[in-house]
Amino acid sequence: EGSETSRQQQQKMMNIAHRGASGHSPENTMAAFQKGFEMKADYIEMDVQMTKDGELVIIHDTTVDRTTDGTGNVGELTFEEMRQLDAGSWFHDNYAGEKVPSFVEVLDAFRGKTGILIEIKAPELYPGIEEKVAEALKERNMHQPNHQKIIIQSFNHESMKKSKELLPQVPHGVLAGRGWAKVTDEQLAEFASYADYFNPNMTIVTPELVDRVHKAGMMMFPYTSRTQEQADHLFQLNVDGIVTDFPEHVYYHPVHN
Ligand code: G3P
Ligand code: CA
């Protein structure tokens, strides 16, 4: 009963569709983002990289090998070459012909409809990627506060510092792998000087860490839940949002009274 009350009193748990609703459709494709939107995720999460000719594209790995019918490094293919690839068949025949989306294609399809959690993936491989992301957001007036829900995050914290300078009004997040299990309060304070989110691997989340991150003035969207049990566990830890392949695992508990 007590835990039910505290759940009801809690503010809404953000539901973040990881690489789109990637448990249901091929990750980082328009189909996966559309599915996340239809499932009423609060945010769709996506990985941004850059082609050889400087176009921003949405793909997770730094090679196209796993999620397309092609081969090679993202940064060594042109946008034209990238667009020839089939990014859906590896997941299921029903998705044959899905393409690697461009960043602006996703922005234009979903801005104003759902939140967008933008991960800049491996920015150390793509000099200038922060400027290109900032430019695309500014062109669409998506860099203003309260305009819509946009967050930029990366495992590369120097990249986030730089991006925050380019887009001071956009919330930023630092991603933290398992190696950050023993993050200190001093480190959290340093992150909080440019980041609004500390988004760790879910295996290092404890009630104490959630509390310390909140006290440092940041929120927490841990990654990546793939089962109902994992989502429920994170929910009970009082995180601010859950990054999941299955948006149906993250319920909305309405606040009563
Ligand atoms: O939201 C964070 C999560 O997307 C980071 O992990 O490897 O799926 O990009 P990864
Ligand atoms: Ca990601």
Tokens of 201: 């691997």
Q: What is the per-residue pLDDT across 33-77, written as a single tens digit (0 to 9) for each?
A: 999 999 999 999 999 999 999 999 999 999 999 999 999 999 999
Tell me, what's the pLDDT at 138?
96
Q: Which residues surround ligand 2, an ion (CB under 5 A)?
A: 47, 119
- pTM for the model stands at 0.94
| CA angle at 208 for the pair 172 and 213, rounded to the nearest 5° | 15
Lowest-confidence pick of 1-10, 22-31, 156-165: 1-10
Q: Would the pLDDT of 148 be above 90? A: no
Which atom in ligand 1 lies closest to the alpha carbon of residue 121? 9
Residues 6+ away with beta carbon under 8 Å from 41: 15, 16, 17, 21, 114, 247
Closest Cα to atom 6, ligand 1: which residue?
A: 223
Q: Is the pLDDT of residue 145 over 80?
A: no
Q: How far is CA 129 from CA 46, 53, 125, 164, 252, in A?
A: 15, 12, 9, 13, 35
Which ligand is closest to the CA of 173, given by its number? 1
CA dist 81 and 221 (Å) reads 34
Task: Give me ligand 1 centre to Cα 43, in Å.
Answer: 13
Q: What is the pLDDT of residues 171-204, one digit of tens each?
A: 999 999 999 999 999 999 999 999 999 999 999 9
- 113-127 per-position pLDDT tens digit: 999 999 999 999 999
Q: Which atom of ligand 1 is nearest to the CA of 16?
A: 1
- Ligand 1: residue whose CA is nearest its atom 3: 223
Distance 223 CA to ligand 1 centre (A): 6
- CA of 117, closest atom in ligand 1: 1
Which ligand 1 atom minimizes the distance to the CA of 47? 9
Q: What's the CA-to-centroid distance between 63 and ligand 2, angstroms?
A: 15
Decide: 45 and 117 in contact? Cβ < 8 Å: yes
Q: Can you give the pLDDT at residue 146? A: 65
How far is 187 from 137, CA to CA, in rounded Å? 29
From CA 61, how far away is CA 1, in angstroms rounded? 44
Q: pLDDT over 70 for what percent of the chain?
A: 92
**What is the distance between the alpha carbons of residues 237 and 232, in angstroms, rounded to a whole number?**
9
Do the Cβ atoms of 86 and 98 come closer than 8 Å?
yes
The ligand 1 site (C-beta within 6 Å) comprises 18, 45, 47, 60, 119, 175, 199, 223-224, 243
CA of 120 relative to ligand 2 center, distance in Å: 8
